[in-house]
Amino acid sequence: MRLGSHLSVSKGFHKAAEAAASIGANTFQFFTRNPRGGSARTISPQEVEKWQEARKKYDIYPIMGHLPYTVNMASPAERAYNFAKMVVADDLERMDAVGAEYLVIHPGSHAGSGREAGLERIVACLEESFLPYDGETSLLLETMAGQGSEIGTLADIAEIMEKLSWPDGMGVCLDSCHLTGAGYDFLQKEEVDRLVTDVKKTVGLSRVRAMHLNDSKFPPGTHKDRHERIGAGYLGKEGLLNLITHPAFKDLPMALETPVEDFQQYGEEITLIRSWL
């Protein structure tokens, strides 16, 4: 199983690889730039070289960049929308340069302007920022819990992809907490089957490339995005195992985004998950 967590790359990607190895991870996720402000640091060719050596040494594959939360492709505000277009285009190139397999993005929030208007803006943003891109990094749209004016159901994502003519380099990142918030009850095995059916009907299983593995503070259908430590939330051991052992999902790279105080606690969760398996 490709199991890891969210880690910092502020000291270099090679240092993140060492940190991953130290907690028993063989994949990881990271913010591509400051998650709140959006400023981006320069990644030198020397750093990329050290990183490529480290990832081979520690067998770290694949890795996922995550765009900052300030990026909103559905924003009706011109400044925020232009920022989203710039960051998506820029970070696809930056991630391609470091050899990141995936770049994860929240589809966006329509901020009260309506789902249809929000979807139109997302599609227009991606037409400008993603379609001209010809690198190796795939852009993954993340499933959301449906908080407020969030866009990000499987149906939403399928509509976006269809309007873009199903580009090869675009996929989906599932999130176990968000899916719980959206109404799937993974304590019931048949609910995992329902998710698989819904995926097949909308985006197709081949489009699902990664998973964020989080327990949930709240039960299904609350539309709340509140991550919990592994085994300490609604899903617990049973719900998480039902999801991650399903044949449709067991080979996906999985990254923890649980509320830890330091990255070593991710190591405890990785050990716990592997002991369950």
CA distance 128 to 124: 6
- Confirm or deny that 257 is annotated as ligand binding: yes
- Report the candidate in 261, 188, 177, 164 with the shortest Cα–Cα distance to residue 213: 177
- Confirm or deny that 223 is annotated as ligand binding: no
- Confirm or deny that 178 is annotated as ligand binding: yes
- Confirm or deny that 136 is annotated as ligand binding: no
Tell me which residue has tokens 């719900």.
239
AA identity, residue 221: G
* Full DSSP string of 101-127: SEEEE--EE-TTS-HHHHHHHHHHHHH
CA distance 9 to 43: 10
Yes or no: say if 202 and 166 are a contact pair by the CB < 8 Å rule: no
- Confirm or deny that 142 is annotated as ligand binding: yes
- Confirm or deny that 225 is annotated as ligand binding: yes
H or E segment at 27? strand 27-31
Per DSSP, the three-state class of 215 is: strand
* Full DSSP string of 87-108: HHHHHHHHHHHHT-SEEEE--E
- Confirm or deny that 246 is annotated as ligand binding: no
Burial status of residue 197 (CB atoms within 10 A of its CB: 0-12, 13-18, 19 or more):
exposed
CA distance 95 to 117: 29
Q: What are the beta bridge partners of residue 245?
A: none
The binding site for Zn(2+) comprises 66, 106, 142, 175, 178, 212, 225, 227, 257
The binding site comprises 66, 106, 142, 175, 178, 212, 225, 227, 257
